Amino acid sequence: MLSTTFMDLLIALGIGLLVGLQKERVASPLAGLRTFALVSVFGAVAALIGRSAGPWLIVAGLVAITTLTVMGNLMSMKKGDIDPGQTTEVAIVLTYLIGALVVIGPLEAAIVLGATLAMLLHLRDELKGWVARLSDRDVRAMMQFVVVSLIVLPILPNRPYGPYAVLNPREIWWTVVLIVGINLVGYGAFRMMGARAGTVLLGMLGGIVSSTATTMSYSRLTKTNESASRPAVVIVWIASGMVFVRVLVEIGAVAPSFLPVAAGPLAIMLLLFTVGARIVWRAGTSPTESPLQPTNPSELRPAVLFAALYAVVLFAVAAAQDLLGGPGLFAAAAISGLTDIDAITLSTSQLVSRQLVDADTGWRLILVATMSNMVFKFGLVAILGSRTLAKPLATLFTVGITVGAALIVFWP
């Protein structure tokens, strides 16, 4: 069996070869396959010798690599080979440091960094094309997410307030970061693929962005264009099913110990929506374009409003548990779930993680909220959509609510 030292050297060599492969393919004049392999191994050897000689040797090696890189650039300039970019130079230095990190540790971080570096170099054209397609609104969304997650979150106090000690400002805002992050992923995917996506993908994207907004948009579309009703059924149903994916992700992020208890019944509901989508799809649909125009999910005002809503729901559920017992909890879940599932899911998960609500009660509360949300969405369809859209969705939502009620009553 290979010793740890030889294994580290082999891993460093592999990382260097992986990064160098990409530069060799684009015929980089400064460094290619062999150079990157040697640079990575050089970093690993410097770190190995540095264990006994001292960390200064790694610094000396870094200076030597930087000097050689500068000299290589000067020689290229004399030949008239001028590359205004600095990507290869930075990649050389980073490859050296990754080689040293293989030895110093953590090894997993070095491997991930090496693979990430290789991917970034390989996807150069794709990344440039993606950036070129970004609008000012898209860039503003990303910058606002930075404000929401990296500036506001750290400065908030991390202790509970209120009569039931459930209102922790940092935890409340962390849930805002989680929801904004999920919505931002959906927003980015929709901006890149929405207009060109197929019917199924439109439903999935719509569910990530907002299943309620998706239902409203397609209901209005079928009122003026009844031929779009059949694909709209699939899209609205899939978007509604994506709610259970969001719920599972949110539970896993906020209360991982709650997830194994809630996963079974919620997965059955997700399976039901998947089978239903397959049946409706096989009945015959045609692709359609999306009328949904998602708004910037990281605007500060909606983020603050969601934080307020989440705090109200969190407090209401805790108060209902204390004052009204079980019936009060389910009434609060049904009311809060009418228009928004995220707040009740996150608040219930928080209370379960603090052992203020039993886990078996917790997933039932979330399921009641999703059933209430189905009723609300069908109301939108009935009011805003065509009869061709409303009739099949009435059947589908009735089945969904029936199965949900059976799970609440009969699940052990």
Segments making up each domain of the chain, as ranges: 4-130, 135-410
Residue from 45, 87, 92 nearest 69 by CA = 92
Flag whether pLDDT at 290 surpasses 70.
Answer: no
Q: What is the 3 state secondary structure string of the chain?
A: CCCHHHHHHHHHHHHHHHHHHHHHHCCCCCCCHHHHHHHHHHHHHHHHHHHHHCCHHHHHHHHHHHHHHHHHHHHHHHCCCCCCCCHHHHHHHHHHHHHHHHHHCCHHHHHHHHHHHHHHHHCHHHHHHHHHHCCHHHHHHHHHHHHHHHHHHHHCCCCCECCCCCECHHHHHHHHHHHHHHHHHHHHHHHHHHHHCCHHHHHHHHHHHHHHHHHHHHHHHHHHCHHHHHHHHHHHHHHHHHHHHHHHHHHHHHCHHHHHHHHHHHHHHHHHHHHHHHHHHHCCCCCCCCCCCCCCCCCHHHHHHHHHHHHHHHHHHHHHHHHCCHHHHHHHHHHHCCCCCHHHHHHHHHHHHCCCCCHHHHHHHHHHHHHHHHHHHHHHHHHHCCHHHHHHHHHHHHHHHHHHHHHHHHCC
CA dist., res. 23 & res. 117, Å (int): 11
- The pLDDT of residue 15: 83
| Radius of gyration for the chain, computed over Cα atoms and rounded to the nearest angstrom | 27
Largest CA distance in the chain: 83
Higher pLDDT, 374 or 12: 374
Q: Mean of the per-residue pLDDT values for the chain?
A: 81
Reported as a pLDDT band with limits 50, 70 and 90, residue 403 is very high
Those residues with Cβ within 8 angstroms of residue 297's Cβ, 6 or more apart along the chain or in another chain:
141, 180, 183, 184, 186, 187, 209
Q: Once rounded to an integer, what is the mean pLDDT over residues 10-14?
A: 86
Contacts of 183 (CB under 8 A, 6+ apart): 208, 209, 210, 297, 298
Q: Kindly give, in sequence order, each residue whose CB lies less than 8 Å from that of residue 285, ignoring residues fewer than 6 positions away.
A: 199, 230, 231, 233, 234
The residue-averaged pLDDT of 63-78 equals 73
* Cα–Cα separations (whole angstroms), residue 138 to 96, 184, 194, 317: 35, 10, 14, 36
- Calculate what percentage of the chain has a pLDDT beyond 90: 19
Res. 260 pLDDT band, cuts 50 70 90: very high
Residue 248: the pLDDT is 94
Is the pLDDT reported for residue 296 higher than 80? Answer: no
At 315 the pLDDT is 83
**pLDDT tier, 247 (very low <50, low <70, confident <90, very high otherwise):** very high
82 vs 185: which has the higher pLDDT: 185
Tell if the pTM clears 0.85, that is, is over it: no
| pLDDT for res 81 | 57
Contact (Cβ atoms closer than 8 angstroms) between residue 368 and residue 330:
yes
Q: How confident is the model at residue 367 (pLDDT cuts 50, 70, 90)?
A: very high
**Of 274, 271, 204, residue with least CA distance to 239:** 204
User: Sign of torsion, CA 111 180 290 403?
Assistant: positive
Confidence check: pLDDT of 249 > 80:
yes
pLDDT band at 1 (very low <50, low <70, confident <90, very high): very low
Does residue 98 or residue 121 have the better pLDDT? 98
pLDDT at res. 409: 93
Task: Label residues 277-292 b or e (16+ Cβ within 10 Å = b).
Answer: beebbeeebeebebbb
Percent of residues, the chain, with pLDDT higher than 70: 83
When pLDDT is cut at 50, 70 and 90, the band that residue 83 belongs to is low
Predicted pLDDT at 30: 61
180-194, 277-291, 311-325, 338-352: which range is least confident on average? 277-291
pLDDT band at 179, cuts 50/70/90?
Answer: confident
Range from 5-9, 94-98, 162-166 that averages highest in pLDDT? 94-98
In the predicted model, is pLDDT for residue 286 greater than 70? no
Examine the pLDDT at 334 and tell me if it is beyond 70. yes
Q: Which residue has the higher pLDDT, 108 or 25?
A: 108
Distance CA 409, CA 405 (A): 6
Is the pLDDT at 55 greater than 70? The verdict is yes
Question: Considering only 55-64, 126-135, 299-308, which range has the smallest mean pLDDT?
Answer: 126-135
Q: What integer is the mean pLDDT of 395-407? A: 94
Q: Average pLDDT of 98-111?
A: 84
